[in-house]
Structure 1
Amino acid sequence: MTSLSPRSLLTAVLGAALALPLTAVPASAVLGGAPASTATYPWLAAVGSPVFFVRPSGQFCGGALIEPDRVLTAAHCVTLFRSVPGLLTATFGRDDLTGTGGETVAVKSVRIHPEYRETSFKDETVGHHDLAVLTLARPVNRRTAALGTPGPARTGWIAGWGFTSENDLFNTRLRAARAPLPGNAACERAYGDSFDPSDMVCAGSAAADSCQFDSGGPLIARGRVVGLVSWGYGCGRPGYPGVYARLDSLP
């Protein structure tokens, strides 16, 4: 969600590990809020890879378990892994990435939304239909996430393991924050034509926003996941809410 170095760091590390030509990969954590427990979000996955050794547990994105063997995440998180899905993992039940609790499951396939494409806004990569489904190597015995749309909700919750500010390089603790849903007009003012209300949801403020390494994580409203962290200009910058992938059409 910002042009800080971790985005280019993710590309560089994965590029060296996979020896593939890569494009910039946005990897958006929760600014504001407080530490949270995965017991509240048993379906929440830390998506990562052992090759991403700069982060504990290899985590670089979030995701939501939607079937016992299916995790919904942001497409931009996993496009590089379509031909090597076995390098991806999904970890559940780990409040702090430096710990060893919970369970980690390998990924056996990656399905990207057929209409996924990228444009740009300033230095940010804009993902359209920014959705992907990971098929796990085995089912997990966990409650799955309920999906929906924001409807009339004016506030929601965001959760992730990422940065708590643009300059926070070290947070590894799951955090959650209550974030406003200001409506499409707020993102249209901020991003112009880069914001497409047909496949994006506008959420967040200078006090509560997603940030680096939160991409693919949930926006929750009315007890349902209604969007996934996708992109935005910086983290918590006044006048620039976060943008979330709408879940109206899944891959």
Structure 2
Amino acid sequence: MDVARCLLWLLAALPLFCRNAECRSLHRHRRIVGGLPANITEVPYSLSLQLDGKHMCGAVIINENWAVTTGYCYNLAVPAQNVTVRAGSSVRETGGSVHTVERFVPHSHYVPAYSDYDIAVLKVKPAFKFSKKVKPVKLPKQGEEFSAGTVGVVAGWGTKNFGVPKYTRTLYKVEVPIIDFAECDKSYMYFGGVNKRMICAAYPSGGKDSCQGDNGGGLVAKRKLVGLVSWAIGCARSEYPHVYTRVSAFSNWILNNTNV
């Protein structure tokens, strides 16, 4: 592993060894920067993934019994006996309905050091009851492409500024455009680039992004789940676009593991 990859691995591993909020805040995973308050009815597929009743990640409803998040969030949730999701609420720790995570399945090839195969599915109990506040999002077809310039919405309860460990109490959302794969790959060339299991979204000038605490939340465009908040360097930085797990690279895997 070269020096750059080693640095990225250390950044990825930091939360696993931290024991306080200040330390965790140095990590590269994030929340909504430059966004607006959102009502859960605008993004009814959005879940707060919680450990001991405290928000740690986002997740996305895909049917009555299953949700999808990232492998990174699975690592935070181990052991999983006290992991729940809150559905149907704009407030991260009150309202809506709370569901126990009965089963958590990360991708078997997930590599934390590279944030590759960064996806996991989770089964909840009791099942979600759909309403205007709780709805699944449609999965893309395997291999489906979303062109550069397509605008997606990402929502979450994370921090508004990188390095500030305080999560927001209420839901925020922001719109970001998908960017050209080669452009994103070039931005991260020093860190080994990105691959076709990843998709990037950002504004050239920065200023709008997901941030700490948003990991696992969904990037939705054309009413389909395009990506999952995965990684970047900092938040909303013009030189480092946000990298999302490309859901269309895993549609068949999701179907095989959830019977959606």
TM-score by length of 2: 0.78
Q: 1:72 to 1:26 in 2, by over 3 A?
A: farther
Which residue identity does 2:39 align to in structure 1? S
Shift of 1:137: 2.1
1:208 aligns with 2:208: yes
Matched, 1:68 2:74: no
* 1:189 pairs with 2:205: no
- In 2, the alpha carbon distance for the partners of 1:95 and 1:129 equals 29
Partner Cα distance (1:172, 1:101) in 2 = 12
Taking only the aligned residue pairs, the percentage that are identical comes to 28
> Root-mean-square deviation (CA), in Å?
2.6
Q: How far does residue 168 in structure 1 lie from its aligned partner after superposition?
A: 3.8
Instruction: Pick one of 82, 94, 105 that aligns with 2:89.
Output: 94
- The 1:59–1:145 alpha-carbon spacing in structure 2 relative to 1, beyond 3 Å, is same
| 2:72 counterpart SS class | helix
User: Does structure 2 conserve the Cα–Cα contact (< 8 Å) formed by 1:93 and 1:101?
Assistant: yes
Displacement, 1:88? 0.8
- Counterpart contact for 1:11–1:25, Cα < 8 Å: no
1:152 positional shift: 2.4
> What is the CA deviation profile of residues 165-212 of structure 1, one whole-angstrom value per residue up to 9, with x for unaligned ones?
114433222111111211112211111263333100011231211110
Correspondence for 2:123: 135
CA distance in 1, matches of 2:71, 2:171: 22
Amino acid across the alignment from 2:138: A
- Residues 72-118 of structure 1: CA deviation (Å, up to 9, x unaligned): 00011112545x322211101221225x2101111111101122113
User: Corresponding residue for 1:122?
Assistant: none
What is the CA–CA distance in structure 2 between the aligned matches of 1:230 and 1:47, rounded to whole Å?
15
Unaligned runs of 5+ in 2: 1-7, 21-25, 255-260
Deviation at 1:60, TM superposition (A): 1.0
TM-score, normalization: structure 1?
0.81
SS, match of residue 81 in structure 2: helix
Decide whether the 8 Å contact of 1:162 with 1:212 is kept in 2. Answer: yes
CA contact (8 A) 1:27 1:60 kept: no
1:145 equivalenced with 2:137 (yes/no): yes
Contact 1:25 1:76 survives alignment (8 Å): no
Contact 2:148 2:179 (C-alpha < 8 Å) held by counterparts? no
Work out whether 1:12 is the aligned partner of 2:18.
yes
The count of corresponding residues between Structure 1 and Structure 2 is 225
Query: Who is 1:220 aligned against?
Result: 220
Please tell me the residue identity of whatever aligns with 1:190: S
